[in-house]
Structure 1
Amino acid sequence: MDITPHSGISFSASDASAINFSLTTHKVHFDSTLVGDYKLLNFTWFEPPAPSQAPLASSPPMKAPTHRASPSSPSSTSNKGKHSNLILIFGIGTSLLITAIISVLIICSCAFRGRKSKASPKETAKPRLLLLLFVLSTVSIGWVNSHEESGKWSCESDSEIRVLAEFKPGLITLDGHVDDWEDIDGSEFSLLPALDPHAEHEYKGGKMNVKALHDGHDVYFLLQVDGEYAYSKGENTRCPSIALMFQIGEDATYHNMGGCKEGTDSCTSKTCKGHEVDIMHFSIGSAIPGRLYGGNPVDNSEGNGGDRFGHLVDVYAWTPHCRYLDGMGPSGNDSSAQNDWKGAWWHSSFSVHSGFVEEDSPYASGGQKGTYYFEFSRPLRTMDHIQQDVQFKIGESSKLSVAFWYPVDRNPWHGSGHYTINCDWVPLDISSGSSLLTKSAPGSSGGSTASVFALLLSVVSLCVSVFVGYRVIKPNSVPFTPMENL
């Protein structure tokens, strides 16, 4: 169509194009029964007036055709895109914030339940941790050695250290070697003199690492301590020696090996009832490295806790001067007793690992730097009927101490000259294999329900965020309706 402007009026190319576009979208229909013929004479183009400053009542919007874009469509589309992006960002940010809050609630809930589980009365019974103070007179259990303290007894115990015996079945071979203990965590202790537990007199060779575990039937111990190799066949006091002590009676104290007030002439199972302690003592002067010692058919048949082959003996005591082999005592012997302990020793300087015999003594050159390993086992429960053995129970704690004798500067040690891991009892926790999964404090079921609900809420919030994002991104197109159908 040719557009001829009226006098005094001119159109730019863009205006002409807009007029042409407008004309193509406007049609006039005539009823042929009423109008015969017609001729277009002229038409007038009106420019839209300038917008008024006052608000105008808006008329209902007309549906615009969508097959062509009007001149004003780019700016409106841009505004809608920006608005949609803002809604999308806001929706996603809100959902992420909700998810983060719920995750924090879940973590806090789990941590709270963990603290309540640790506070179980049986497992946190604060046993007073401190060092072993007992003296086995001569190493052949000669029962009268001096055990006098050099001054007033004082003790600063580390009450936070514990020894944990985890459930690890089928893991340990009792041979003195430590390869099978590599993955077991231990507790490290400074070794202080039993009668004068002060840091300035600490054992110079190094600290002692104590490891323990159980398999549901036996409990196992590994004690390792650095020290130059010292061995003299048949002379126990010129070789290292080790002992474990456990509380049996409820009144048995670490200090004074049970703490009974009776003297050597009056201490009996009646006068010292409640002060019993259980002792395992191993002197290696007659023991071949890597060989098993302790309970054996010969000594057990005689009904006592002795070991005539390697001097790994089972002892009980009420005081340092009232201690006896199991089955023996001031009131007579009991034939039902036996030695329930077994153990072996090793030193890291040994170059032979296939096994030693007695003719190989002294097994290595003296003075070599290295580490001593002492490995022991005993049933959790024994056949003791006369209160001479500690009885371990899975899921509960016992009280433990460890003593170590060493020929410092190659001088023979004496009975009361030993080092200990602490100046009071150390808690020994016999853990249950499923305690971390099944044992929980009261109210833990409510915590589990809360966790499940929180997880469900997280999933719902994630679904809502996805739905909001989809609705925002989805194109909001209007279907095209031809003018003829209006």
Structure 2
Amino acid sequence: MSIPPPLQLLLACLAVFSCRHFVASHQESGDWHCDPDDEARIAAEFRPGIVTLDGRADDWSNVDGFEFPLRPALDPDEDHQYKSGKMTVKALHDGKDVYFTLQVDGDYVYSKGDDHKCPSVALMFQIGDSATYHNMGGCKESSNTCNSTNCRGYEVDIMHFSIGNSIPGRLYGGNSVNSVGLVDMYSWNPHCRNIDASAPSGNDSTALNDWKGAWWHSSFSTHPGFIEDDSPYGSSAEKGIYYFEFSRPLRTTDLLQQDAQFSIGKSSKFSAAFWYPSDGNPWHGSAHYTISCDWIPMDVISGLTSQHKAASGNAASLFAFVLSTAAFCVSIFVAYMVSKNKSIPFTPIDDRL
């Protein structure tokens, strides 16, 4: 379905508005230094039919994830990390779509209509082989000169979700109408970002917002469902955990290097970011945290591998059961034979007289 040009322009403006602080936060100073955690890795296992995209975390309880410290994107110093807790990242796939959940400790803060006074999150994936985590792709061109020719190979895919205009538990994205707050972009560097379907040279109506997402906070007590009139949805400064849940097709119809493409049995490179308004102030550069100072590997595990592990585990359990049963029977037989051979024959008293 093609997107009308006026709507394309509206979505592009929303993307720019949502991310203007995102750009400003990448004005770096000084030398860049990075010491990533070599053990950090995410496995998206084949787990079909267990997740409902509603922002809640209950259906993720049996899925393994990785807990990351959150440190400022531009100064990944341990002393400056997010004080309220860490971010837990989990992923899975059902053979068609890939799912993510981000869980972050944080007091409930919400300002209706103001994205920068509400928590926000983003996911970023490598598209081009030369794309670096640092500088969101790392193309050296300026905002006036970057394009798909001279920045070829430096593309990164970005999904950014701001909750200031969204209702907890409701689904956003995935179409051209209610994508407000959830934006699908691509980038060559912090100053060369575009919403999918747009570019410096013009628009392309074949691109889509392929992401869907929802959010929740653990302090909420209303489960049937919120509506906009319920805002602010909970008590201010209530302690708890923010939950963000997303999905996207493993493969999209992208023809322009604007989406990362995931393959079962292969690894991809990704990162996640978190914005939080400190002390009631809008989020800015110092509140822009990330899970690592470099790409994190994400393995999309095949269903065959998962089933093979389960089958191997079942076979091992069955073999152990058979072996233990056989051992038990042998022990009974041996005990019987020993007791039979050591038995004392009966001798009548008359024979001894």
Q: TM-score range by the shorter chain?
A: 0.7 to 0.9
Paired residue total: 317
State the match for 2:241 in structure 1.
371
Partner of 1:353: 223
> Runs of 5+ in structure 2 lacking a partner?
1-14, 310-318, 343-353
Indicate the SS of the match to 2:203.
coil
> Is it true that 1:400 corresponds to 2:279 in the alignment?
no
Task: Using structure 1 for the length normalisation, give the TM-score.
Answer: 0.60
* 1:307-386 map, 5 Å: 307=179, 310-386=180-256
Deviations 1:55-86 (A, max 9, x none): xxxxxxxxxxxxxxxxxxxxxxxxxxxxxxxx
Mapped partners of 1:472, 1:168: distance in 2: 55
Partner of 1:265: 144
CA distance in 1 between partners of 2:63 and 2:192 (Å)? 36
Higher strand share: 2
Report the CA distance between 1:164 and its aligned residue: 1.0
Q: Which amino acid aligns with 2:124?
A: M
Q: d(CA) in 2 for partners of 1:232 and 1:204?
A: 22
Counterparts in 2 of 1:146 and 1:170: CA distance versus 1, 3 Å: closer
Shift, 1:141, TM fit: 5.6
Give, in angstroms, the shift of residue 147 of structure 1. Answer: 2.0
Residue 265 of structure 2 contacts residue 300 of structure 2 at CA under 8 Å; is this kept in 1? yes
1:147 to 22, 26, 38: 26
Distance 1:437 1:182 in 2: 20
Q: Quote how far apart the aligned CAs of 1:210 are.
A: 0.6
CA distances 1:185-222 after superposition (whole Å, capped 9, x unpaired) = 11100000000001100101101111111111111111
CA deviations 1:28-51 (Å, max 9, x no partner) are: xxxxxxxxxxxxxxxxxxxxxxxx
Q: Does the CA contact (< 8 Å) of 1:175 and 1:291 recur in 2?
A: yes
Q: Distance in 2 between matches of 1:312 and 1:272?
A: 25
Match of 1:229 among 81, 87, 108: 108
Confirm or deny: 8 A CA contact 2:71 2:290 kept in the other structure: yes
Aligned-residue identity in percent: 63
Deviations along 1:350-373, one digit per CA (max 9) or x if unpaired, are: 121111111111111211111100
Match of 1:189 in 2: 68
Is contact 2:277–2:287 with CA below 8 Å preserved after alignment? Answer: no
Structure 1 residues 157 and 338, CA gap change in structure 2 (3 angstroms): same
Mark the CA change 1:143 to 1:241 in structure 2 (over 3 Å): closer, same or farther. Answer: closer
Which residue identity lines up with residue 50 of structure 2 in the other structure?
A: L
- Alpha carbons 1:242, 1:403 under 8 Å: kept: yes
Secondary structure of residue in 2 paired with 1:286: coil
2:99 aligned to 204, 217, 220, which one?
Answer: 220
Contact 2:176 2:208 in 1 (8 A): no
Tell me the equivalent position of 2:348: none
Could you say which structure has the larger radius of gyration? Answer: 1
Give the alignment partner of residue 411 of structure 1, picking from 253, 271, 281.
281
Distance 1:471 1:286 in 2: 81
| RMSD of aligned residue pairs (Cα, Å) | 2.9
* Rounded Cα–Cα distance in structure 1 between residues aligned with 2:160 and 2:245: 12
Q: Output the CA distance in 2 between the equivalents of 1:149 and 1:384.
A: 32
